[in-house]
Amino acid sequence: MPLTDTTIRNAKPGVKPITLFDRDGLYLLVSPTGGKWWRLKYRYGGKSKLLSLGTYPAVKLKDARVKRDELRQQLASGIDPGQLRKAAKVAQNGDANSFEVIAREWFERFKLTWVASHADKIIRRLERDVFPYVGRRSINSITAPELLTVLRRIESRGALETAHRIMQNCGQVFRYAIATGRAERDPSADLRGALPPTREKHHASITEPKAIGDLLRAIDGYQGFAVTRSALKLAPLVFVRPGELRMAQWSEFDLDSAEWRIPAERMKSRTPHIVPLSRQAVVILRELDRLTGSTKYVFPSVRTNSRPMSDNTVNAGLRRLGYASDEMTGHGFRSMASTILNEHGWQRDAIERQLAHAERDTVRAAYNYAEHLPQRRKMMQAWADYLDSLMIGTNVIPLRAS
């Protein structure tokens, strides 16, 4: 029930902090010493966050609600109010041409072009590994050796891939500063070859037919949470990225037409993606509909229906079935499908389109997300039939392209 001024005035401190909820994430925290602090709880990039909105009675209930509504409007526009507040604080207390100020400006301008989880990783990397060391420096004064020192600090803890990614992000910030007239050159360009190359990592996957059959039988006998079991059963049939699977929403599915349309904002390629559903996939989803069909997410969290299952759920399920991380991963279902479909002669372009691999020509990609769709529908059904035959273990159905 929403708060009232009377409730707030009469709230007495206790031995532990007391939380008085209003609505839409706004609540009042009453400390054991009697202080009353306004807080706003919100989610951004799949993570729960908090913002302080001041203290009562300096900030009245109506004022706190106005602040809440303003911040929620920022969220609706794709802006993280916490990051915006940090950027404003840095700009107020430091050099307007500092690396951190310009980096946060660059981030706010471009983050809507990225998947939310990817954007969150970028800003966290900068906040943890770059801002504490060169964040307050004028961006035009940072030299290549200074930037290399930052990167080697990251490399020294064994995070070589992170060091490469941060060098790439810093280069993007420097080039943005050049374009906006606040820097003359990009020192990261001088560091090419200064870091050891990363080893290409492949997601563990099972591609031997007999072993695939063993895996599918293990999944069919999974004894854990029913939603996790459904996710494990659906993953090999649709072979989308793990994040695309766990974030699936019922509004994206048309089971009568046997089709799943994933919107552009949830795709790595930033273009919409069509997943033709085999008869087997539709059966799984119709069964799951009885469990989670009244919720937003197809695979809600075990703790709350308001959030999707965690990004480690499928992998944890595989571990529970006895498959180590170097044997099989959730991402490995993509490699499994790609390897076998290519081996059996299916059209490579159709496979690549179904895998939603990024199209180099972004304009072409935007108009051709349905490319090869008739062939893909045949392929997805043939793939499901082939997997069924592997699971049964006898009379394996040929997967030859028709």
Catalytic residue numbers? 241, 268, 331, 334, 357, 367
Phi/psi for 372 (5° steps) reads: 60, 25
- Going from the C-alpha of 187 to that of each of 114, 126, 183, the distances in angstroms are 25, 17, 10
Check: CB of residue 42 under 8 Å from CB of residue 71: yes
d(CA 332, CA 328): 6
Is residue 57 classed exposed, middle or buried when 0-12, 13-18 and 19+ CB atoms within 10 A define those classes? exposed
Cis? peptide before 57, omega within 30° of 0:
yes
What number of CA atoms fall less than 13 Å from residue 155's CA on the CB side? Answer: 14
Question: Among residues 385, 252, 264, which one has the least CA distance to residue 308?
Answer: 252
- Strand ordering across the sheet containing 26-30: 18-21, 26-30, 36-44, 47-56
CB atoms under 10 Å from CB of 173, counted, come to 23
Judged by DSSP in three states, 284 sits in helix
